[in-house]
């Protein structure tokens, strides 16, 4: 559709890390989701910055995690002060972000055409 999700970052370290990105749209309730994560759980990259941006929708909910769930391990969320959420972006917060990111999830609402 008219929605897109872009993930930009800069990081150091890590070798051959596999990452995945999923984008989904739920037509009936106008929701658009974007997920970026490392299926193996924790990333060993040293992230200096990150930003996920959605186009064609406004962010309703978002969360960033220092560790993604794997096996019996749970997702470990970043502290609220480490990142910021606007209507269209989720990004690191300069001076507060602790350089760890393994998962980012966004749910956004697409504008509805009224009949």
Domain extent, residue 58, equals: 4-14+22-103
Residue 4: band (very low, low, confident or very high) from pLDDT cuts 50, 70, 90: very high
Domain contains 84? yes
Residue 113: band (very low, low, confident or very high) from pLDDT cuts 50, 70, 90: low
Confidence at residue 115, expressed as pLDDT on a 0 to 100 scale? 53
28 vs 74: CA distance, rounded Å = 30
Confidence at residue 28, expressed as pLDDT on a 0 to 100 scale? 83
pLDDT at 114 over 60: no
Q: Quick check: 37 and 55 in contact, CB under 8 A?
A: no
Domain contains 64? yes
Domain contains 108? no
Domain contains 110? no
pLDDT at 111 over 70: yes
Q: Which two tokens stand for residue 25?
A: 């749209």
Q: Quick check: 77 and 66 in contact, CB under 8 A?
A: yes
Domain contains 114? no
Q: How many CA atoms lie within 13 A of 30 on its CB side?
A: 11
Residue owning tokens 């929701």: 31
Of 43, 33, 39, 41, which Cα lies nearest the Cα of 9?
43
Confidence at residue 108, expressed as pLDDT on a 0 to 100 scale? 97
Confidence at residue 15, expressed as pLDDT on a 0 to 100 scale? 77
Count the domains in the chain: 1
Domain contains 115? no
pLDDT per position as a tens digit, 8-22: 999 998 778 999 999
Domain contains 59? yes
Please, what is the average pLDDT of the chain? 93
């Amino acid at each position: 559709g008219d929605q897109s999700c872009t993930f930009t970052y800069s990081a150091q370290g890590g070798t051959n890390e596999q990452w995945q990105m999923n984008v989904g749209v739920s037509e009936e309730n106008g929701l658009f989701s974007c997920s970026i994560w490392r299926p193996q759980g924790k990333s060993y990259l040293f992230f200096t910055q990150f930003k996920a941006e959605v186009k064609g929708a406004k962010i309703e909910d978002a969360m960033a995690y220092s560790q993604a769930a794997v096996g019996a391990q749970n997702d470990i969320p970043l502290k609220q002060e480490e990142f910021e959420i606007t209507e269209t972006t989720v990004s690191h917060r300069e001076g507060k972000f602790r350089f760890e990111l393994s998962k980012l999830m966004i749910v956004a609402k697409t504008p509805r055409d009224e009949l």
